[in-house]
């Protein structure tokens, strides 16, 4: 389906019945804490999957929201539809398992990065992971993903340009 920039696919507190595959465009998942501070958890780009996996796999309410930040073409699939595909086409289960393993490894790497790297190192990893995304994403989304302020992001970019 075609979705326009600014579309919210999922709001925190809703039931999570689907995963989204991104054919084109860019999405982000984010969490807003009780004080209203926003944290970008994931950017979803071409050939990536995105959902609130905590809620999806535990049948609980969403703790994150998903927003389309660049016009996108996405496909969505429910857990029931996936199970039907697994039964009809067993190789599909392997495909999903490999994708899930890579996503899990990526999230674990990101956690370690946030615990052990400097903001500059996290930014450089971000640029490597998401090449060419910066022109389509707002600075405060990138900063919230990196766990820094927009001012710190500007300082890091300025220092990299002058070095």
Q: How many CA atoms lie within 13 A of 31 on its CB side?
A: 16
Q: How many CB atoms lie within 10 A of CB 102?
A: 12
Task: Classify domain 2-89 at the CATH topology level.
Answer: Jelly Rolls (2.60.120)
pLDDT string in tens for the chain (163-residue length): 999 999 999 999 999 999 999 999 999 999 999 999 999 999 999 989 999 999 998 989 999 999 999 999 999 999 899 999 999 998 989 988 898 898 889 889 989 998 999 999 999 999 998 888 888 889 999 999 999 999 999 999 999 998 7
For the entire predicted model, the pTM comes to 0.88
């Amino acid at each position: 389906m075609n979705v326009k920039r600014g579309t919210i696919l999922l709001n925190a507190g809703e039931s999570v019945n689907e995963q989204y595959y991104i054919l084109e465009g860019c999405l982000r998942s984010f969490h807003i804490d009780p004080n209203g501070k926003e944290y970008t958890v994931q950017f979803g780009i071409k050939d990536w999957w995105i959902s609130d996996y905590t809620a999806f796999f535990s049948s609980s309410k969403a703790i994150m929201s998903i927003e389309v930040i660049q016009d996108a073409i996405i496909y969505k699939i429910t857990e029931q539809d996936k199970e039907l595909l697994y039964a009809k086409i067993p190789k599909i289960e392997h495909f999903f398992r490999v994708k899930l393993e890579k996503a899990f490894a990526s999230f674990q790497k990101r956690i370690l990065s946030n615990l052990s790297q400097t903001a500059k190192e996290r930014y450089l990893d971000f640029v490597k992971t998401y090449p060419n995304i910066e022109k389509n994403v707002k600075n405060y989304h990138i900063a919230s993903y990196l766990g820094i302020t927009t001012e710190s992001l500007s300082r890091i970019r300025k220092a990299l340009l002058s070095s």
